[in-house]
Structure 1
Amino acid sequence: MTAEAITLLGLGNLGRALAQTFVRGGHSVTVWNRSEGKAAGLAATVAGSAAEAVAAGDLVVVAVLDPAAAQKVLSGVDVRGKSLVNLTSGTPDDARELASWAEAQGAEYLHGAVYAVPQTIGTDASSIIYSGSEAVSARKSLALLGKVTYLGADAGRASGYDVAILAGMYGLLGGFLHAAALARANGIEVSELTPMLWSWLADLQPALTTFAAEIDASRYDNAESSLAMNQSGLATLVKAARAQGVPFAGLDAVKALVDRQVDSGRGQESLARAVESFGLGSQGLAGGQQEDRH
Structure 2
Amino acid sequence: MLGFMWSVLNGFLHGVALLGTAQVDAATVAPFLSQGIGVMTEWMSAYADQIDAGEYPAVDSTIDTHLAAMEHLIQESESLGINAELPRFVKTLTGRAVAGGRGGDGYAAMIEQFRKPAVTG
Q: TM-score range by the shorter chain?
A: 0.7 to 0.9
Percent identity (aligned): 25
The higher-RCO structure (CA 8 Å, 6+ apart) is 2
Q: Which residue of 2 aligns with 1:254?
A: 90
More strand by percentage: 1
| Cα displacement string for residues 225-266 of structure 1 (whole angstroms, at most 9, x for unaligned residues) | 210110111110011111111123221111111111112222
- Of 200, 207, 211, 2:47 maps to 211
1:218-233 to 2 correspondences below 5 Å: 218-233=54-69
Look up the equivalent residue of 2:79 and give its one-letter code. Answer: A
Partners of 2:111 and 2:85 in 1: CA distance: 18
Look up the equivalent residue of 1:167 and give its one-letter code. Answer: G
Q: Is contact 1:223–1:271 with CA below 8 Å preserved after alignment?
A: no
Aligned-residue Cα RMSD (Å) equals 1.6
- Of 158, 168, 188, 2:24 maps to 188
Look up the equivalent residue of 1:186 and give its one-letter code. Answer: A
Partners of 1:232 and 1:199 in 2: CA distance: 24
Partners of 1:257 and 1:220 in 2: CA distance: 17
Q: Is contact 1:223–1:270 with CA below 8 Å preserved after alignment?
A: yes
Asked if residue 282 in structure 1 is aligned to residue 112 in structure 2, the reply is no
Look up the equivalent residue of 1:219 and give its one-letter code. Answer: E
Q: Which residue of 2 aligns with 1:133?
A: none
TM-score by length of 1: 0.38
SS at match of 1:265: helix
Please list every run of 5 or more consecutive structure 1 residues that lacks an aligned counterpart in the other structure.
1-164, 284-294
Residues 223 and 261 (structure 1 numbering): CA distance in 2 closer, same or farther, change over 3 Å? farther
Look up the equivalent residue of 1:247 and give its one-letter code. Answer: N
Deviation at 1:280, TM superposition (A): 4.4
Partners of 1:280 and 1:270 in 2: CA distance: 22
Q: Which residue of 2 aligns with 1:265?
A: 101
Deviation at 1:223, TM superposition (A): 4.2
Please list every run of 5 or more consecutive structure 2 residues that lacks an aligned counterpart in the other structure.
none
Q: Is contact 1:227–1:270 with CA below 8 Å preserved after alignment?
A: yes
| Cα displacement string for residues 181-205 of structure 1 (whole angstroms, at most 9, x for unaligned residues) | 1121121111112111111221222
Q: Which residue of 2 aligns with 1:198?
A: 34
Q: Which residue of 1 aligns with 2:76?
A: 240
TM-score by length of 2: 0.88
More helix by percentage: 2
Larger radius of gyration: 1
Q: Which residue of 2 aligns with 1:177?
A: 13
Partners of 1:204 and 1:171 in 2: CA distance: 13
| Cα displacement string for residues 248-292 of structure 1 (whole angstroms, at most 9, x for unaligned residues) | 322111111111111222211011111211224338xxxxxxxxx
| Cα displacement string for residues 84-124 of structure 1 (whole angstroms, at most 9, x for unaligned residues) | xxxxxxxxxxxxxxxxxxxxxxxxxxxxxxxxxxxxxxxxx
Q: Is contact 1:258–1:271 with CA below 8 Å preserved after alignment?
A: no
